[in-house]
Amino acid sequence: MARLLMLIIALGLLPISSVYGKELKLALVPKFYSVFFDQSKNGCIDAAAQIEGVECIYRGPEISSVRLQDQVINQLIDEGVDGIAVAVTQSKYLVENSLKRAKEVGIPIVTYDSDFDASINGDPKNFRLAYIGTDNFELGKSLGEELKKLRPNGGMLIMQSGRPDSPNLNLRLMGVRSALSGKKYDIPPGKLLNNEQGWTEVREPLFNFDQLSQAVKQMESVMKGKPVKADSFIAVGGWAQNNDALYRDMIAPFQEKINDKEVVIVMTDTSPEQLTMLKDNLAHINVGQNPYEMGRQAILTLYKIVTKQQYEEVIYTPVTFCTPQNFNTCEKRAGM
C-alpha cells in the first residue's frame, strides 16, 4: 500500500500535502550568497515548482563563515523544515553543532557542492544521506590536465583557493597536484609540487577566504610577477571572475601576457559573465561546474528521502570545458 501511495504521489495524481497534511519545506543552504550558489537557487526553485506541495527555501550567510552558516541551519531547524541540503563550509564545526541537532530532531541532511572531510572522524554517511555535486578531485585533475595541454613542458605554478579548511577545495588542489606530478596522495590537499615532472609551486596556494576583491588583488600580483614569479595560474574556484568590472580592470594591462601565454590562466566555473570574459580572451580555459543541477538534484533527492522513495546516495554533476575557440557551443552546454 505504501509503495502504491508513493507511486501515486510521484505521478502527480495526489498532492504531497494531501498525504502529509502540510507543504513540505526543503531548504538549500549555500556557503554564502554568490554568482555560483545563486544558480543552485534557480535549480532548487525549478525542482520544487515541479512537485505540488513542495517549497524551496534558499537561505545562507552573506559572507563565507561557518558560524553564520551554522546559525542559518539552526534557524531552519527552529522553523521546522522537512529537509536540508548544505554546502559544507567547515565539516567538524557543523557536525558538532547545528547538524548534530538536525539529526537529533530527525531532519534529513544531504550535502551539495562540498561534502564532509576527514575532520569529522567518521564515515560521511553517518552525518548525511547523500552528496550531490562535482567530483571535486576529478575536477582538480581536469584543471591540471588542461594546464598541461597549454604548457606541456611544465612550469612554475601558483594556485588560488578559498579557505584552507574547505573540504571540496582541498580535494581540487589535490587533484591538480596529482595530475601534474603523476602521484597519488593519501590526504587532501596533497603536497606542494617541487619539480615533479617539470612542475613546481612557487608558494603555498593563495587563500582569499571567499573575498572577491582579495581574489582579484592576489591574481594581479601573479600577473605582475611580484612578489613571486610564476608562468601558470590555476584558480580552483571562480572568485576573481565573479566581479566582472574588477576583473576586467585588473586584467586589461596584461592582455599581451595572456596572448603570448607568458602566464597561462586556468579558471574554474562558467557563469555567463565568465564565458564572456573567455570570449574576450581574458583567460585561457574555464572548467565549469553545474550549480543549477546541484540545486535541482538536491531538492529532488530530499523529496525522495522524505517520501521514503529510493534515491541515489551520490550524484556527480557534469563539468564543461570552455575555451575561446569553442565558446559558442560551450555556452549552450554550460547553461544546462
Which is nearest to 300 in space by CA: 13, 51, 37, 38? Answer: 51
Q: Say what the pLDDT of residue 330 is.
A: 81
- Single-letter amino acid, residue 203: R
- One CATH from 3.20.20.70, 3.40.50.720, 3.20.170.30, 3.40.50.2300 for 2-134+291-318: 3.40.50.2300
Residue 329, φ and ψ in degrees, nearest 5: -75, -35
Instruction: Determine the Cα–Cα distance for residues 21 and 53; give it in Å rounded to an integer.
Output: 10
The partner residues of 54 in beta bridges, in order of sequence, read 24
Instruction: Determine the Cα–Cα distance for residues 87 and 82; give it in Å rounded to an integer.
Output: 17
Q: Say what the pLDDT of residue 251 is.
A: 97
Instruction: Determine the Cα–Cα distance for residues 160 and 35; give it in Å rounded to an integer.
Output: 18
Secondary structure element (H or E) that encloses residue 318, with its range: none
The partner residues of 133 in beta bridges, in order of sequence, read 316
Per-residue pLDDT of 125-141, as tens digits, reads 889 999 999 999 999 99
CATH fold match for the domains 2-134+291-318 and 136-288? yes
**Cα-based distances in Å from 57 to 25, 64, 86, 164:** 7, 19, 12, 29
Q: Is 90 helix (H, G, I), strand (E, B) or coil?
A: coil
Q: Say what the pLDDT of residue 228 is.
A: 92
Please state the domain extents for the chain. 2-134+291-318, 136-288
- One CATH from 3.40.50.261, 3.40.640.10, 3.40.50.300, 3.40.50.2300 for 136-288: 3.40.50.2300
As separate numbers, helices (DSSP H) first and strands (DSSP E) second, the chain gives 14, 14
Q: Give buried/exposed letters for 289-303 (b at 16+ CB in 10 A, else e).
A: bbbbbbbbbbbbbbb
Which is nearest to 25 in space by CA: 6, 3, 7, 44? Answer: 44
Residue 178, φ and ψ in degrees, nearest 5: -65, -45
Q: How many CA atoms lie within 13 A of 223 on its CB side?
A: 24
Q: Say what the pLDDT of residue 331 is.
A: 60
**Cα-based distances in Å from 7 to 15, 97, 156:** 12, 36, 57
Q: Say what the pLDDT of residue 325 is.
A: 87
- pLDDT < 50 regions, the chain: 1-10, 12-14, 16-21, 335-336
Q: Say what the pLDDT of residue 21 is.
A: 45
The partner residues of 268 in beta bridges, in order of sequence, read 287
Per-residue pLDDT of 270-305, as tens digits, reads 998 999 999 999 999 999 999 999 999 999 999 999
Which is nearest to 177 in space by CA: 209, 213, 137, 210? Answer: 137
Q: Which three cell numbers stand for residue 98?
A: 547545528
